[in-house]
């Protein structure tokens, strides 16, 4: 296995940690909110499964996550900053023939990249439904509230799981709050113009980001696959990497 971690200076000089495995066809994977590349893609074997199938897997820790910088300067969080980061990474690596996918926040970023000019051969939107893209304001408020009450929330509070995950991943709450404000809604009309073959991969019990079937129906070349699990548990399942490999290698 070829594996390396390296620092990338993004478009504005903020340093992002890039985790890379394999030496084949490039695929960029973007992790979910409050997570990181290791938790989402490496820990449960998804990256290794793709490496075994002949892929070079490129996994950034997103800004304000993992080993990447989490600046407290509001100027470090312009609108669509994660999109700008990934665009800068693609340009830096001089990728012209590659695949792209993400889970939850990573899926939102992937969708945004697709409607703003990114041209991967194939795309994957995982842990995502239509409402997670077109109804972001409600989701943002949920996570902002989780940050606000992180030290006072009691077990049973609807924010409890998000808070515990945020703490377990040692997320910087100030940076995370700034980052949450950089996202905007994706209107259904914008999604309808995506012509990239796109896998919508979601846990059968996962509706945290809305309905994946409705999202798939909007995509001209979308296919929906359900795997076991909830939003939190589906990323631990071998079925996730099996379906990723099937779609990308097929």
Give yes or no for a contact between 180 and 143, defined as CB atoms under 8 angstroms apart. Answer: yes
**Using one digit for the tens of pLDDT, what is the confidence trace for 166-208?**
999 999 999 999 999 999 888 888 898 999 999 999 999 999 9
- The Cα–Cα gap between 15 and 224 comes to 35
**Percentage of residues in the chain having pLDDT higher than 90:** 90
- The pTM (predicted TM-score) of the whole model is 0.96
CB 130 within 8 A of CB 213: no
Q: What are phi and psi of 124, to 5 degrees?
A: -135, 125
pLDDT (mean) for 37-50: 97
Q: What pLDDT, in 10s, does the model give residues 127-159? A: 999 999 988 878 889 999 999 999 999 999 999
Domain 3-138+185-249 part of CATH 3.30.559.10: no
Work out the angle at residue 16's Cα, subtended by the Cα atoms of residues 14 and 19, and round it to the nearest 5 degrees.
170
The residue-averaged pLDDT of 222-244 equals: 97
Residue 39 is given by DSSP the state: I
Hey, what are 199's tokens?
């896998």
* Among the listed residues 184, 15, 59, 198, the one whose alpha carbon sits nearest the alpha carbon of residue 112: 184
Contact 7, 67 (CB under 8 A): no
Distance of alpha carbon 206 from alpha carbon 226, whole angstroms: 9
Identify the burial level of 152 via C-beta atoms within 10 angstroms of its C-beta, where 0-12 means exposed, 13-18 middle and 19 or more buried.
Answer: exposed
């Amino acid at each position: 296995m070829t594996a390396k971690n390296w620092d990338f200076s993004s478009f504005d000089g903020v340093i992002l940690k890039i985790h890379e495995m394999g030496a084949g066809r490039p695929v960029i994977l973007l992790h979910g909110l409050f997570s990181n590349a290791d938790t989402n893609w490496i820990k449960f074997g998804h990256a290794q499964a793709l490496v075994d199938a002949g892929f070079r897997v490129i996994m950034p820790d997103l800004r304000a996550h993992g080993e990447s910088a989490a600046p407290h300067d509001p100027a470090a969080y312009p609108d669509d900053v994660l999109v700008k980061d990934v665009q800068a990474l693609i340009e830096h690596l001089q990728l012209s023939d590659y695949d792209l996918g993400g889970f939850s926040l990573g899926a939102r970023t992937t969708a945004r990249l697709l409607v703003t000019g990114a041209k991967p051969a194939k795309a994957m939107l995982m842990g995502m439904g239509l409402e997670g893209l077109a109804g972001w304001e409600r989701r943002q408020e949920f996570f902002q509230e989780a940050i606000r009450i992180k030290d006072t929330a009691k077990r049973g509070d609807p924010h409890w799981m998000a808070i515990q995950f945020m703490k377990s991943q040692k997320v910087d709450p100030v940076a995370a709050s700034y980052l949450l404000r950089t996202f905007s809604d994706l209107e259904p009309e914008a999604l309808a113009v995506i012509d990239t073959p796109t896998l919508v991969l979601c846990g059968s019990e996962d509706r945290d980001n809305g309905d994946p079937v409705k999202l798939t129906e909007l995509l001209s070349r979308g296919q929906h696959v359900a795997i076991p699990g909830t939003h939190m548990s589906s990323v631990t399942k071998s079925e996730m990497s099996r379906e990723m490999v099937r779609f990308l290698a097929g």
